Amino acid sequence: MDSRAAGRYAVMMTDEVLWSQAGTEKHRRILDAALEMFAEQGYAGTATSEIARKAGVSEAAIFRHYKTKKDLLIGVVAPVLRVIAPALIADIKEILSRRYPDLRTFVTALVRDRVAFVRRHHRVLRIAMQELPFHPEIRAIVDEVFVRELFTPASETIADLQERGELMELAPELVMRTIISLTAGHAVHRYFLRAGVAFDEPAETELLIRLVTKALGPERQ
């Protein structure tokens, strides 16, 4: 993906990606309704009849586009992850290609814009996280577009920080898993569990950076 395409996709909202997949206004309403209801009620708690009612279409109209409810779920999640993720990964790979003076600078570069990414796409990410344990198709998409692409380029940056005594001696995959886990935990609380509650995002992002830096800093005797 070239830098112009990456930049364009990086700032797209979830709705824009889904709308680009819809051939008709009716199809667009189906995707909008499914996105909202799967995010709010979960896959198991949402009936296609409810989606049809919210979209203002017949249930048969849904099944003209998607053979099953699961196909509709994948139709909501997969396009967004596969369109947006390459831009995110290109951005992270660029971050991982730099040399950092210290761990805090590295963590700041890695975390700060990822919080904004979660904010833009919190509904589809919420669906993906909710349904990850139950649908191997979603696990495969997440593994394909996020996990495999990031651990290899991270290794060199992590090794460089470790050689200079800035980072705890851990396997690169464990370092990245720790950063992702802490960042994801922050995102789940702020955008999923406490959605709609006002908060100071810059201050909380700064706190997250401090916590990650402290958790991964060199062990002191």
What are 91-142's pLDDT values in tens digits?
778 888 888 899 999 999 888 767 777 777 777 777 877 787 787 877 787 7
Q: What is the pLDDT of residue 193?
A: 65
What are 8-49's pLDDT values in tens digits?
444 456 666 666 766 788 888 998 899 889 988 889 999 999
The arithmetic mean of pLDDT across residues 161-169, rounded, is 89
What are 81-105's pLDDT values in tens digits?
777 777 777 777 888 888 889 999 9
Whether 177 and 150 have beta carbons less than 8 Å apart is answered as no
Q: Residue 29: what are its φ and ψ, rounded to 5°?
A: -65, -35
pTM: 0.65
Tokens of 113: 């814009």
- The CB density around residue 27, as the number of other CB atoms within 10 Å, is 21
Q: What is the pLDDT of residue 54?
A: 95
CA distance 221 to 88: 38
- The CB density around residue 221, as the number of other CB atoms within 10 Å, is 3
